[in-house]
Amino acid sequence: NSFLTQPHSVSESPGKTVSISCTRSSGSIASNYVQWYQQRPGSSPTTVIYEDNQRPSGVPDRFSGSIDSSSNSASLTITGLNTEDEADYYCQSFDGNNQVFGGGTKLTVL
Amino acid sequence: QVQLVQSGAEVKKPGASVKVSCKASGYTFSSYGIIWVRQAPGQGLEWLGWISPSSGNTNYAQEVQARFTMTTDTSTSTAYLELRSLRSDDTAVFYCARVDGYNFDHWGQGTLVTVSS
């Protein structure tokens, strides 16, 4: 069982809103900060959200992060989708011993 | 500006060793940790471990701690990842990244290590 579980893929149309979930299997999602990384094909990952809901400078405010204790999950929400958002997205957090990445979600904007 | 520049692609035979470098610039190297991440072809990101350049302290993922070693050279602002007893399933792109608090905020361009007989 994965510590952080993400949907394998999501798709949505340009201009729409999409949310990607990241469910923690054990312990509270609020116990450790969650980060989100975007990886476009052939490129290194870059941070889009850190510390659950903080945006690095240069990341558009179309990107937002949240956590939900009731579902023990974190979410990355992207509004006003455009083709540049098409990428793999990874959540990341700490399991008490090591840093862990979710399996990644492929976002298709079609 | 912060930059992490990694060494070039490597092709190795099973059982061999390889050392990947990650040269930092644009910041005080000893003030930030460095992590290493592996990405097998078509797969996701896998955290391998962390090193503190100032202390040399390390923390490895259990799966790799017997064969992988992380070191740093503060005189050249360079981090290293040595992989020993290479296997075909070690074929991957290896990334270094700077740790700023909880965030891996700057990444190297990646180094492809191919293990093939």
Q: What is the pLDDT of residues A64-106, one digit of tens each?
A: 999 999 999 999 999 999 999 999 999 999 998 899 999 999 9
Confidence (pLDDT) at A96: 86
Interface mutation vs chain B, best among A6, A8, A44, most B CBs within 10 Å:
A44
Report how many Cβ contacts below 8 Å link chain A to chain B. Answer: 55
Whether residue A29 contacts residue A72, with contact meaning beta carbons closer than 8 Å, is answered with: yes
Chain B residues within an 8 Å CB radius of A94: 102
pLDDT in tens, chain B (117 residues): 999 999 999 999 999 999 999 999 999 999 999 999 999 999 999 999 999 999 999 999 999 999 999 999 999 999 999 999 999 999 999 999 999 999 999 999 999 999 999
Helix (H, G, I), strand (E, B) or coil at B30: helix
Nearest CA in chain A to B106: A46
Confidence (pLDDT) at A1: 60
Interacting residues of A55 by C-beta distance below 8 A, sequence separation 6+: A48, A49, A61, A63, A64
Question: Other CB atoms closer than 10 Å to residue B97's CB: what's the count?
Answer: 26
CA of B16 vs chain A CAs: smallest distance (Å): 26
Q: What is the pLDDT of residues A26-43, one digit of tens each?
A: 999 999 999 999 999 999
Chain B residues within an 8 Å CB radius of A50: 101-103, 105
- Work out the end-to-end distance of chain A between its first and last CA atoms, rounded to an integer number of angstroms: 31
CB contact under 8 A, B104 and A45: yes
Model confidence band, residue A2 (pLDDT cutoffs 50, 70, 90): confident
CB contact under 8 A, A44 and B108: yes
Confidence (pLDDT) at A97: 86
A90 and chain B in contact, CB less than 8 A = yes
CA of A14 vs chain B CAs: smallest distance (Å): 25
Interface mutation vs chain A, best among B63, B102, B106, B111, most A CBs within 10 Å:
B102
CB contact under 8 A, A104 and B44: yes
Interface residues of chain B, partner chain A, Cβ below 8 Å: 35, 37, 44-47, 50, 59, 61-62, 95, 97, 101-105, 107-110
Confidence (pLDDT) at A6: 98
DSSP assignments along A66-95, one per residue: EEETTTTEEEEEE-S--GGG-EEEEEEEE-
